[in-house]
């Protein structure tokens, strides 16, 4: 009789215990999620300077009338928080290779140097690494895309990518995307204290650059 009273009177206790256990599990998941999004151990402390460098490099591209836009991780940052991701030490700007002929690339390097940058060309991967000449931390990476007029697409430039062939479906490393997503004129959106060009339809470009992960949370795991 005493055992029955203990069991029958203990249902409320067990319900409270199960509720507490459930709360602890949910709280643990929330704390884990927040710690991943904050990722304090990987924060880049010169984000303001980096965004300023990107804006000044963009002014050089504007003077030379080269079409460019935020892409890759920098576009994720603009879409999520209107600035470069806090953990990134570089800003990625994609540039149309059809406008950046060899002569104009030489002018681009000259103009960047006159603006206080050092530019290093990586012809293999089709990009230009741009650093502050005064040693300010951070990298602005200009990534060139070449046209594929047959398919009305753009694809990564550089002799490494040109050696892969022209089949965008078979070669995901080409990062092909429809030309309509970067048709002129591109709109400018907030990027830190500045405004930078972005592709059309927001994150649509990311579906082509990150076909297997564009729908996931863009924050890294710590």
Residue 56's closest CA among 126, 136, 127, 140? 140
179 and 126 part of one domain:
yes
pLDDT tens-digit profile of 137-156? 999 999 999 887 677 889 99
How many domains does the chain divide into?
Answer: 2
Confidence check: pLDDT of 116 > 90: yes
60 domain-assigned = yes
17 and 77 inside one domain: no
pLDDT at 90: 97
Q: What is the mean pLDDT of residues 166-173?
A: 75
Tell me the residue length of the chain. 222
Same domain membership, residue 203 and residue 109: yes
Q: What is this structure's pTM?
A: 0.78
Domain that holds residue 11: 2-38
Q: Per-residue pLDDT for 38 more than 80?
A: no
Do 135 and 167 fall within a single domain?
Answer: yes
Asked whether the beta carbons of 100 and 108 are under 8 A apart, the reply is yes
């Amino acid at each position: 009789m005493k055992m029955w009273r203990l069991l029958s009177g203990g249902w409320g206790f067990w319900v409270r215990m199960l509720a507490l256990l459930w709360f602890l599990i949910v709280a643990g998941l929330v704390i884990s999620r927040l710690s991943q999004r904050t990722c304090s151990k990987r924060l880049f402390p010169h984000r303001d300077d980096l965004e300023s460098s990107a804006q000044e490099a963009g002014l050089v591209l504007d003077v030379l009338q080269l079409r460019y836009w935020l892409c890759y991780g920098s576009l994720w940052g603009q879409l999520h928080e209107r600035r470069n991701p806090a953990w990134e030490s570089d800003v990625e700007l994609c540039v149309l290779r059809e406008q950046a002929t060899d002569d104009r690339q030489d002018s681009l390097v000259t103009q960047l140097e006159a603006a206080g940058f050092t530019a290093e060309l990586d012809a293999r991967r089709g990009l230009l690494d741009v650093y502050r000449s005064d040693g300010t931390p951070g990298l602005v990476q200009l990534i060139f895309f070449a046209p594929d007029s047959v398919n009305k697409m753009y694809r990564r430039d550089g002799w490494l990518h040109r050696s892969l062939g022209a089949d965008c479906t078979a070669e995901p490393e080409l990062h092909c995307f429809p030309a309509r997503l970067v048709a002129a004129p591109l709109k400018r959106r907030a990027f830190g204290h500045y405004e930078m060009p972005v592709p059309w339809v927001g994150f649509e470009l990311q579906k082509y650059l990150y076909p297997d992960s564009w729908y996931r949370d863009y924050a890294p795991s710590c």
